[in-house]
Amino acid sequence: MTTRPPQASPLIQIQDLSAGYNDEMVLKDINLSVEPDDFIGLIGPNGGGKTTLFKVILGLIKPKRGTIKVLGLSPEKGRLHIGYVPQFTYFDSDFPIRVRDVVLMGRLGPRHLFKPYSPEDDRVVDACLDRVQLSKLKSTSLGELSGGQRQRVYIARALASEPELLLLDEPTISVDAEATAQIYELLHELNLQGVTILLISHDLNVISSYIKTIGCLNRTLHYHGEKEITEDMIQSGYNCPVELIAHGLPHRVLAKHEERNQ
């Protein structure tokens, strides 16, 4: 993006927003402002509306009530300044596409309709591949990569949009521990370089050492722009970790958390 919109802080402003599918409300009375340079971790149970919230931010679902602004614009316009890393629960490893072609998709946009990718696009894409340390694999087909490498490809694709803000939906869901650490180190560095990050994860143990603020979403959102989990988050119905406050032992929290999900 060559033109930045008038710098609006916060990057995302959501007020009294409700959204859902057909008659079912998945999100209720959401208020959220995402400030620049933040690294927000959003936790919550399955079906609690985390992915739906992302879809609303990205303009893929229209809210039933309330307002949302992305960099002061409507989601349909503002989303061009967002780098989106979707959750890939299903992956067709036979889909014929090379790593570099996936990252190039981050350069798509109205400006590029009817026009081939430019040398500038190539330059940005190569830089993004370098950023996630996948330059050597750029001509490999995506299906041959490991889960962790594939996630880094999607992060590179999001970065290729030269975003103000990254949205990541469970980026480490099917990734081993080493690759998970690598991905979070990368996100941490990106955040230090001024990329604001909003991340969904079930893995509180890992994110707690990287995030700056935490929110808990179970149809309603509990977010105070702080790193501590507060009383109301626990009461929100999610098995938000009591021990985190009581004992400060996230490891124990993780164990319990996973047990309950299984």
Q: Which residues bind another protein (CB under 8 A)?
A: 58-60, 76, 79-80, 82, 84, 86, 94-98, 101-102, 104-106, 108-110, 112-114, 116-117, 141, 143, 157, 161
Cα distances (angstroms) measured from residue 203 to each of 101, 139, 207, 250, 251? 30, 32, 6, 10, 11
Cα distances (angstroms) measured from residue 181 to each of 10, 103, 105, 145, 171? 29, 22, 26, 18, 11
Taking alpha carbons only, the member of 261, 256, 225 closest to residue 242 is 256
Give me the residue label for tokens 């999607």: 154
Nearest-approach distance from CB 224 to another protein, in angstroms: 28
Give the Cα separation of 161 and 64 in Å (integer): 29
126/243 with CB nearer another protein:
126
Nearest-approach distance from CB 261 to another protein, in angstroms: 25
Nearest-approach distance from CB 200 to another protein, in angstroms: 15
Give the Cα separation of 108 and 91 in Å (integer): 21
20/86 with CB nearer another protein:
86
28/55 with CB nearer another protein:
55
Beta strands in 53-123 (DSSP E): 65-70, 82-85
Nearest-approach distance from CB 51 to another protein, in angstroms: 11
Helix (H, G, I), strand (E, B) or coil at 236: coil
25/58 with CB nearer another protein:
58
Q: Which amino acid is at 210?
A: Y
Nearest-approach distance from CB 7 to another protein, in angstroms: 21
Nearest-approach distance from CB 124 to another protein, in angstroms: 14
10/86 with CB nearer another protein:
86
99/229 with CB nearer another protein:
99
Does an H or E element contain 186, and which? helix 177-192
Nearest-approach distance from CB 143 to another protein, in angstroms: 8
Cα distances (angstroms) measured from residue 261 to each of 49, 77, 169, 203, 254? 16, 37, 18, 12, 11
80/211 with CB nearer another protein:
80
